[in-house]
Chains A and B, each alone.
Chain A
Amino acid sequence: MITVAAISLNVAILIASYGLMDGMVKHLVSNVTNMVTGEVQIHAPGYLVDHSMYKVVKDPTGIMERLGSRGIHGSARSYGYGLIASGNKSAGALFWGVDPDMEKKYFDLADHVETGRYLSSIPKKEIVVGRKLARSLNARIGSEVVLVVQAADGSLGNDLFTVRGILKAAGDRIDRNAAIMHRQDFQELFVSGGRIHEIALNTRGAVPLAALEQIATAAAPGTDVKSWRQLMPSLSDMVNFFDAGMWLFGMIFFLAAALGVMNTMLMSTFERIREFGILKALGTSPWRILGDVAAESFVLSLVSTIIGGIIGVGLSLFFMHKGLDTSIFVPGDAAVSVSGIAFDPVWRATVSVKTILSPILMMCFISLIASLYPAAIAARLDPIKAMTRV
């Protein structure tokens, strides 16, 4: 029946649209958090204020074990500032000491290499640098670089490293300053004795943010636990901005779909006014008519919205896996970094209870109401008039 088809289509489109809208925002966040920041980070109190290399996280192994037993994993990192020089060019850099295996497993940066590759699991005095840093040093894969740092014991740490990878755009900070090495190389260079400055946790959305914060705080007493929202207020604001925009758009789409559903139901019910007139003439009470219509349209609405729901979910899933590549709108290199945050051009939908259930319920409700109105009219009409309605 046309009615069913029409309502289903409206519902399906609404669901798919919500999926895309929701996806846009969620992916904005996960792109950033999955890359390197993670969802929650643990630092020593006061570390984020001055980044002093002497403010370390106590008992990092214990913390990671406790969290690991609850299925929460992440990466432990060390940081230190210094100078990186190649040929006759030099620049200040922030050096990272990481465990490449942990980074590869729980974060995406290891895959985000433009040329060359990420660090190997074995310390080989290799270094991976941000793309703007590489450019300012005129460094290429295989380039030799000199690292000069103030080691933890005050001595001048220096050594030769080889550039093994140059990263894609990953946000301003990383592009300009990041120089990543194996944690053992870091230890040697900085005489750091295995000090850890940061534990970054990433569950890729499996654990809700508030819960994650709580668990982390419990597992790491005496430390400073922050979520990505506090660590990156710019991104947090951007997400709020998008959320608001999507809310508005969602409203408009909702109204448009509601209009479609209401229309369909109204017309199809009005179509049957002759029928109601006959029934009335035959003696059926108005309430009975109303009741019948209500029951019928309830079933109709339910069936249509469910069918629409299934199609909608199907579409959303399709877009979740396939995604729409918006870089087709942009000629050339679609590496984009705005406000220090790198954007992924592929737009995916997300499927969640929120994006599916509420459209279905709302549309069902609307179609029901829409059917009752004409039925009420029919119920009160003079049967002759109803029957001869043309």
Chain B
Amino acid sequence: MKLQIDSFRGIPMEKNMSSLVKRMSVLLLLLVFIVPASPCSAMQTLNAKGILDRVDDLFRGKSSKGIMTMKIVTAHWTRTLKVEWWSEGKDKSLMRILRPKKEEGTATLRVGNDIWNYLPKVNRVIKLPSSMMSASWMGSHFTNDDLVKESRMAEDYTFELTFRGKRDGREILEVTCLPKPDAPVVWGKVMVAVRPVDYLPLKILYYDEDMSLARTMYFSHIGPLGNRILPRVMRIVPADKPEEMTEITYEQMTFDLDLPAEVFSIRSLRR
């Protein structure tokens, strides 16, 4: 058979950090945003779809910037990166490495379906082939693809509040999300545990189709971030390699600022 695949072939598959993780986390962060720290009773009267729609609309057109520390632990090495980022809407983002010094200035720009990398050591900008979408970003458990996916949560899942009470010594609300039959998501089920008092997420569990746990996302260190209260630490742990993880700590974040268009250009990539 004459293959027409480009040279991506031969690259081993990387663990895919589902876009859902990112989407869900953003969704929930914003959930918190629109429902200010107030008594929980309002939650039960709103239906799940209503919440999602509101979140979708609120999320659109928003921008953000910030600084985070990413700690990656794999079976063979451990790394800590300090990354600065800017993002606008759902298809523009720029990320730049601040630490370690060896990689300072390395940046990734995503606009639409295209991704560029700037490499300060050789002072070159390269455009990634579309096949690299699934490759992991900087060796973490996130992939380039995560930066690109469009969010369609309202279309992809049905939500239902399934548990209210104490678990592991904490009061939580648990929402079970099941993918709609035709939704292009790989999961069989997603379970979200939130704080009843302000609906900040504590844990998200991702199950594959066989209902076995594929990965877990933990949220902690709730505190002020920009003009909101959010969990400042997120950790992803793959279920089949529990010794590995990627942990993001948000140090600073600013929301809804005006970002000039040049921010998401190749020129600014090089800066």
- Residues of A near any B CB (own CB < 8 A): 50-52, 54, 81, 83, 85, 88-94, 132-133, 136, 146, 148, 150, 152-156, 158-160, 172-173, 176-177
> Is B102 interfacial (CB 8 A cutoff)?
yes
Q: B166: which A residues are within 8 A, CB to CB?
A: none
Once the chains are docked, how many angstroms separate the CA of A152 from the CA of B132? 19
Residues of chain B within 8 A of A154, CB atoms compared: 72, 74, 76-79, 139
A160 to B124, CA, bound (A): 9
- Cβ distance B188 to chain A, nearest Cβ, rounded Å: 25
Residues from chain A with Cβ under 8 Å of B79 in the complex: 153-155
Which chain A residues border B138 with CB–CB below 8 Å? Answer: 156
Interface residues of B in 1-50 (CB under 8 A from A): 3, 6-12
Q: Are A152 and B76 in contact (CB under 8 A)?
A: yes
A92 touches B76 (CB 8 A): no
- B53 at the binding interface (Cβ < 8 Å): no
- Give the chain A neighbours of B11 by CB distance below 8 A: 81, 92
> How far apart sit A150 and B129, CA to CA, in the bound complex (Å)?
16
B102 → chain A closest CB, angstroms: 6
10 more CB-based (< 8 A) A-B contacts, given A92-B131, A156-B139, A177-B10: A88-B127, A154-B72, A154-B78, A154-B79, A155-B100, A156-B106, A156-B138, A158-B122, A176-B7, A176-B10
* Complex alpha-carbon distance, A94 and B126, angstroms: 18
Compute the total of residue contacts between A and B using a CB distance below 8 Å: 85
Assuming the contacts A83-B132, A85-B127, A155-B102, asked whether A94 and B10 have C-beta atoms less than 8 A apart, the reply is: yes
Is B211 in contact with chain A by the CB < 8 A criterion?
no
Determine the main DSSP class of B at the interface with A: loop
Contact-residue size bin, chain B (C-beta under 8 Å from the other chain):
20 to 34
**Alpha-carbon gap, A59 to B146, bound state (A):** 41
Q: Tell me whether A90 and B126 are in contact (CB under 8 A).
A: yes
Which residues from A are CB-within-8-Å of B267? none
Question: B128 touching A83 by the CB < 8 A rule?
Answer: yes
Is B150 positioned at the interface, with any CB of A under 8 Å from its CB? Answer: no
- A29–B245 CA distance with the chains assembled, in angstroms: 47
Q: Determine how close the nearest CB of chain A comes to the CB of B244; give it in whole angstroms.
A: 12
- Choice from B77, B126, B129 contacting A152 with Cβ under 8 Å: B77
Known: A83-B128, A92-B9, A136-B6. A158 touches B121 (CB 8 A): yes
Contact B121–A93 (Cβ < 8 Å): no
Do A150 and B127 touch across chains, with their CB atoms under 8 A apart?
Answer: no
Contact B78 A90, beta carbon cutoff 8 Å: no
> Which B residues are in CB contact (< 8 Å) with A90?
126-129, 132
* B10 touching A92, Cβ below 8 Å: yes
Q: Are A146 and B7 neighbours in the complex by a CB distance under 8 Å?
A: no
Alpha-carbon distance between A160 and B139 when the two chains are bound, in angstroms: 21
Inter-chain contact A148/B8, CB cutoff 8 Å? no
Q: Which 4 A-B pairs have the closest CB atoms?
A: A91-B7, A85-B126, A154-B77, A92-B8
CB B11 to nearest CB in A, in angstroms, measures 5
Q: Please judge, given known A-B contacts A154-B78, A158-B119, whether A146 and B126 are in contact too, CB under 8 Å.
A: yes
Does B117 sit at the interface, judged by CB under 8 A? yes
Contact residues in B for A89 (Cβ distance below 8 Å): 127
Collect the chain B residues with CB atoms within 8 Å of residue A156's CB: 103, 106, 119, 138-139
Instruction: With both chains docked as a complex, state the minimum distance between the C-beta of A324 and any C-beta of chain B, in angstroms.
Output: 29
In the complex formed, the residue of B with least CB distance to A50 is B12
Closest-CB distance, B143 to chain A (whole angstroms) = 13
Residues 120-150 of chain B: 1 if any A CB is under 8 Å from the residue's CB, otherwise 0? 0110101111011000001100000000000
Chain A nearest CB from B49 CB (Å) reads 41
Residue pair A91, B10 in contact (C-beta under 8 Å) = no
Smallest Cβ distance from A341 to chain B, in angstroms? Answer: 14
Specify which chain B residues have a CB less than 8 angstroms from the CB of A173 in the assembled complex: 10
A residues near B124, Cβ cutoff 8 Å: 85, 146, 160
- Can you name 27 A-B residue pairings with CB atoms under 8 Å? A50-B12, A51-B12, A52-B12, A54-B75, A83-B129, A83-B132, A85-B126, A88-B126, A90-B129, A90-B132, A91-B6, A91-B129, A92-B7, A92-B10, A92-B132, A93-B7, A132-B7, A133-B7, A136-B6, A146-B122, A146-B124, A153-B79, A155-B100, A156-B106, A156-B119, A173-B10, A177-B7
